[in-house]
């Protein structure tokens, strides 16, 4: 995909995606395709089930958050036509549309792809959106611009066969400097730019993650040259695909595989896989990336805004001088990341006049405007003020990050958005001086899954509940001491205490007042938390845990006028899949068809990996027919050799596991891939014959559950 702003045509790959999506929707609606199988498919196309029945959330994948004014207008128009006339900016620099009808999702796709956008692999067990520091390219502290590298990685793995049906999602990030503003330490892959002996490269972290069990990523390399970044990711994904847990969803992330193997053991497997890659190095051509610059300078009409005090505070908290002298980056604070379509169009018009076409969505649900002429700051401020987007305090304690929670998410336990609104109001009313406090962050998730990144907040909350006899009271688990130090060190928060949601404002007051009274001069909040210890804060907040005096509205969730009712749905990646062995064999056939198609086009690594997948799926089908659990691909190969080949039940010449794993021993030459693909075809032919024989002998096709199926 190019960097151009307006595409106006739909690429062949996107056309195929749209046609396939239309066909699969039709098959689902006419009963030809099972709901759970269809769900696994549509997730990889950005179509995610919503809390409200009959509508979907459509996630737009926006690599490193780069978006143009034109694309803002396109998305606003699509939201008006097919969604709720709202654009939701996420902590992964995506944009989500809500209340989209399933049958309208192909039309949304058409509108996106003709304008350089996609929903492909925005959800599901894929490589998700690659996030990056929004300041990349203009950051005074950066060794070099990581944007072309993030771009290259994003599109190298888009539609790559290795990452279409992994055990779980993969989340990479690129930070622009050692300050780690893209949170490398809690990502599956984290890259921090370095220059060594004149060579560009990265410090590499692998195997971090949030969720119910937050883990800090260990360091894989202190320095890895930039031309080895993509091969490292590819080899690592192969290891995860082959060895990662699949049946136990709570253990299926890369962080658990790295923890299980240890970083040395994981890297040993990575280096083994690396030997068979077609591209052992992958130089990234940065020449096609041209830094977008500002519009032509014009004489400003406004030099003194109407509200001079607010302007000065806004300039102090929301702007910074770029490494390009005379230009400024301008942050735009967006409440909860929600922008109405009408305001989005007005914003795009303002941006087109004053700033570069390269706007970045930030990881705290805001926006960064780039290449603003210093003389235009006052005029831009006035323009943003007219649409309500000139509020000071960007990324301060008053700029609360929150996921949608119970507004739209199936997994939401409490109303994170309502709580975020009242917290922001309280901070601005009672602690206005903290609009300049950029080293304390508040983040809220509606459940423990951390979409609001609460575990990396200095003060964080996730949705929960407390019982009071027959009543269930909405609550928040309080976590303290997470976040990123000014020097880039990452902290994971600790769980301290669970409090009713209506006591959270007092909780914040207690914490801030205590810090203000007892911290040493200049002491960073997390250092203060560590010095005092978890028990100190538990005792500080314990009086707020009393529920005996709660009555009336105190028992309601924020922005609710009725008694709290906990209604937790099933996560879209966690549903039970009922399937039949014959359908699994059909999946193996489809992989071989894809292999043949890629081989014909000269895409040898892709053809090899599809052939590998066919081997694994075919073996899995027969193991499941025998009620043998399948939790990792490597165990499938081992179990099939032991249960079918060594027992003489299945005709196979040699060691099945060794044959299939030839993919990691040999480079994908034409000769190897041709032979490997033919071997996979012959194997699947025998699988079909074996299964047909069983069926002839009276064995019925059988259902298998998801935990046995997913490997």
Q: Which residue has the higher pLDDT, 682 or 552?
A: 682
Task: Tell whether 227 is covered by a domain.
Answer: no
Q: What pLDDT is recorded for position 709?
A: 46
pLDDT at 700 over 70: no
Q: How far out from the chain centre does Cα 155 lie?
A: 15
Integer Cα distance of 165 and 188 in angstroms: 16
Give the HSE-up count for residue 386: Cα atoms under 13 Å, Cβ half-sphere: 12
CA distances from 311 to 18, 398, 424 (A): 47, 17, 19
SS3 598: helix
Q: What pLDDT is recorded for position 577?
A: 46
Q: What is the mean pLDDT of residues 277-306?
A: 88
Q: What is the mean pLDDT of residues 506-511?
A: 98
Asked if residue 409 and residue 344 are part of one domain, the reply reads no
Integer Cα distance of 491 and 98 in angstroms: 33
Per residue in 447-465, pLDDT (tens digit) is 888 889 999 999 999 999 8
pLDDT range class, residue 570, cuts 50, 70, 90: low
Cβ proximity of 441 and 401 under 8 Å:
yes
Any idea what the CATH number is for the domain that residue 84 is in? 3.90.480
Asked if residue 550 and residue 408 are part of one domain, the reply reads yes
Of 152-166, 650-664, 686-700, where does mean pLDDT reach its minimum?
686-700
Asked if residue 550 and residue 405 are part of one domain, the reply reads yes
Q: Of 363, 386, 409, which one is at a domain's C-terminal end?
A: 386
- Judged on CB neighbours under 10 Å (0-12, 13-18, 19+), 226 is buried
Asked if residue 382 and residue 405 are part of one domain, the reply reads no
Integer Cα distance of 311 and 396 in angstroms: 16
Q: What is the mean pLDDT of residues 51-58?
A: 90
Query: The whole model's pTM is what?
Result: 0.92
CA distances from 225 to 180, 222, 282, 299, 339 (A): 18, 10, 10, 45, 40
Q: What is the mean pLDDT of residues 580-595?
A: 90
* Arithmetic mean of pLDDT over the chain: 92
Asked if residue 449 and residue 514 are part of one domain, the reply reads yes
pLDDT range class, residue 569, cuts 50, 70, 90: low
Q: What pLDDT is recorded for position 576?
A: 41
Task: Tell whether 344 is covered by a domain.
Answer: yes
pLDDT range class, residue 578, cuts 50, 70, 90: very low
Locate the DSSP E strands across 333-394. 338-340, 359-361, 367-373
Q: What pLDDT is recorded for position 7?
A: 47
Phi and psi dihedrals of 174, rounded to 5?
-125, 120
pLDDT range class, residue 3, cuts 50, 70, 90: very low
Task: Tell whether 164 is covered by a domain.
Answer: no
Integer Cα distance of 462 and 450 in angstroms: 7
Asked if residue 110 and residue 19 are part of one domain, the reply reads yes
Task: Write the CB contacts of 162 (distance below 8 Å, at least 6 apart in sequence).
Answer: 234, 237, 238, 241, 609
Our count of domains for the chain comes to 4
What tokens were used for 116?
């350089």
Q: What pLDDT is recorded for position 6?
A: 45
pLDDT at 654 over 90: yes
pLDDT range class, residue 708, cuts 50, 70, 90: very low
Q: What is the mean pLDDT of residues 105-130?
A: 95
pLDDT at 95 over 60: yes
Per residue in 631-643, pLDDT (tens digit) is 899 999 999 999 9
Length of the chain: 711
Asked if residue 544 and residue 440 are part of one domain, the reply reads yes
Task: Tell whether 700 is covered by a domain.
Answer: yes
Task: Tell whether 93 is covered by a domain.
Answer: yes
Any idea what the CATH number is for the domain that residue 370 is in? 3.30.70.3340
Task: Tell whether 465 is covered by a domain.
Answer: yes
Q: What is the mean pLDDT of residues 360-381?
A: 97
Locate the DSSP E strands across 327-458. 327-332, 338-340, 359-361, 367-373, 401-402, 442-445
Any idea what the CATH number is for the domain that residue 442 is in? 3.30.413.10
Q: Using alpha carbons, select from 10, 18, 80, 26 the residue that is nearest to residue 46.
A: 18
Q: What is the extent of the structural domain holding 370?
A: 308-386
Asked if residue 381 and residue 469 are part of one domain, the reply reads no
Task: Tell whether 210 is covered by a domain.
Answer: no
pLDDT at 295 over 90: no
Q: How many other C-beta atoms are found inside a 10 Å radius of the C-beta of residue 570?
A: 11
Asked if residue 546 and residue 415 are part of one domain, the reply reads yes
Q: What is the mean pLDDT of residues 96-115?
A: 96
Asked if residue 359 and residue 445 are part of one domain, the reply reads no
Asked if residue 665 and residue 596 are part of one domain, the reply reads yes
Task: Write the CB contacts of 341 (distance below 8 Å, at least 6 apart in sequence).
Answer: 76, 77, 79, 80, 85, 86, 87
pLDDT at 8 over 60: no
Any idea what the CATH number is for the domain that residue 682 is in? 1.20.120.330
Q: What is the mean pLDDT of residues 344-363?
A: 97
pLDDT range class, residue 472, cuts 50, 70, 90: confident
Q: Which residue has the higher pLDDT, 459 or 582?
A: 459
Q: Which residue has the higher pLDDT, 615 or 213?
A: 615
Q: What is the mean pLDDT of residues 583-590?
A: 91
Q: What is the mean pLDDT of residues 183-200?
A: 97
Task: Tell whether 98 is covered by a domain.
Answer: yes
Q: Using alpha carbons, select from 478, 474, 477 the residue that is nearest to residue 558.
A: 474
Q: What pLDDT is recorded for position 467?
A: 86
Asked if residue 586 and residue 457 are part of one domain, the reply reads no
């Amino acid at each position: 995909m190019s960097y151009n702003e307006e595409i106006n045509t739909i690429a062949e790959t996107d056309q195929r995606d749209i046609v396939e999506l239309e066909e699969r929707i039709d098959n689902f609606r006419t009963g030809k395709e099972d709901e759970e199988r269809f769900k696994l498919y549509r997730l990889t196309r950005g179509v995610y089930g919503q809390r409200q029945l009959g509508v979907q959330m459509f996630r737009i994948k926006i690599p490193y958050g780069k978006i143009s004014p034109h694309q803002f207008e396109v998305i606003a128009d699509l939201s008006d036509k097919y969604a709720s006339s709202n654009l939701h900016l996420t902590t992964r620099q995506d944009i989500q549309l809500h209340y989209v009808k399933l049958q309208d999702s192909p039309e949304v796709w058409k509108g996106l792809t003709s304008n350089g956008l996609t929903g492909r692999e925005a959800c599901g067990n894929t490589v998700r959106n690659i996030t990056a520091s929004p300041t990349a390219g203009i950051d005074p502290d950066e060794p070099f611009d990581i944007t072309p590298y993030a771009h290259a990685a994003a599109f190298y793995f888009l539609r790559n066969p290795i990452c279409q049906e992994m055990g779980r999602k993969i989340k990479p990030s690129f930070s622009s400097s050692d300050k780690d503003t893209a949170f490398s330490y809690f990502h599956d892959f984290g890259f921090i730019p370095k220059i060594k002996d004149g060579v560009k490269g990265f410090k590499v972290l692998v195997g971090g993650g949030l969720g119910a069990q937050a883990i800090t990523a260990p360091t894989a390399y202190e320095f890895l040259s930039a031309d080895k970044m993509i091969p490292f990711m590819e080899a690592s994904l192969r290891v995860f695909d082959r060895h990662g847990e699949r049946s136990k969803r709570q253990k299926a992330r890369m962080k658990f595989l790295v923890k299980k193997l240890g970083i040395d053991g994981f890297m040993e497997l990575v280096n083994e896989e690396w030997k068979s890659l077609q591209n052992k190095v992958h130089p990234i051509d940065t020449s096609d990336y041209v830094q977008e610059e500002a519009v032509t300078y014009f004489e400003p009409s406004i030099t003194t805004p109407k509200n001079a005090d607010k302007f000065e505070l806004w300039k102090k908290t929301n702007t910074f001088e770029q490494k390009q002298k005379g230009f400024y980056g301008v942050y735009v604070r967006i409440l909860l990341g929600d922008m109405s379509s009408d305001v989005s169009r007005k914003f795009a018009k303002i941006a087109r006049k004053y700033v570069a076409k390269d706007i970045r969505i930030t990881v705290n649900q805001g926006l960064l405007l780039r290449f603003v002429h210093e003389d235009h700051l006052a005029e831009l401020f006035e323009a943003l003020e007219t649409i309500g987007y000139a509020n000071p305090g960007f990324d301060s304690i008053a700029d609360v990050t929150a996921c949608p929670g119970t507004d739209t998410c199936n997994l939401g336990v409490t109303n994170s958005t309502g709580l975020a609104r009242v917290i922001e109001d309280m901070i601005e009313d009672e602690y206005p001086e903290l609009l300049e406090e950029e080293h304390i962050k508040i983040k809220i998730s509606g459940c423990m899954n951390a979409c609001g990144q609460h575990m990396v907040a200095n003060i964080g909350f996730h949705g929960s509940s407390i019982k009071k006899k027959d009543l269930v009271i909405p609550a928040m688990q309080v976590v303290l001491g997470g976040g990123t130090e000014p020097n880039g060190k990452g902290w994971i928060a600790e769980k301290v205490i669970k409090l009713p949601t209506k006591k959270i404002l007092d909780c914040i007051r207690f914490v801030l007042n205590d810090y203000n009274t007892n911290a040493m001069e200049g002491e960073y909040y997390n250092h203060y938390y560590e010095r005092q210890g978890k028990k100190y804060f538990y005792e500080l907040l314990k009086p707020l845990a009393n529920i005996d005096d709660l009555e009336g509205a105190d028992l309601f969730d924020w922005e609710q006028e009725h008694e709290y009712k906990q209604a937790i749905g099933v996560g879209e990646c966690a549903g039970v899949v009922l399937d039949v062995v014959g359908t699994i064999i059909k999946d193996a056939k489809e992989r071989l068809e894809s292999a043949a198609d890629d081989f014909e086009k000269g895409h040898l690594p892709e053809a090899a990996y599809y052939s590998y997948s066919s081997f694994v799926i075919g073996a899995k089908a027969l193991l499941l027919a025998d009620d043998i659990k399948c939790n990792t691909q490597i165990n499938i190969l081992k179990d099939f050799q032991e249960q079918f080949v060594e027992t003489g039940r299945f005709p196979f010449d040699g060691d099945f596991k060794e044959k299939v794993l030839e993919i990691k021993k040999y480079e994908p030459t034409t000769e190897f891939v041709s032979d490997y693909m033919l071997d996979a075809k012959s194997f699947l032919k025998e699988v079909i014959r074996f299964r047909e024989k069983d069926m002839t002998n009276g064995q019925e096709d059988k259902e298998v559950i998801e935990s046995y199926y997913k490997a």
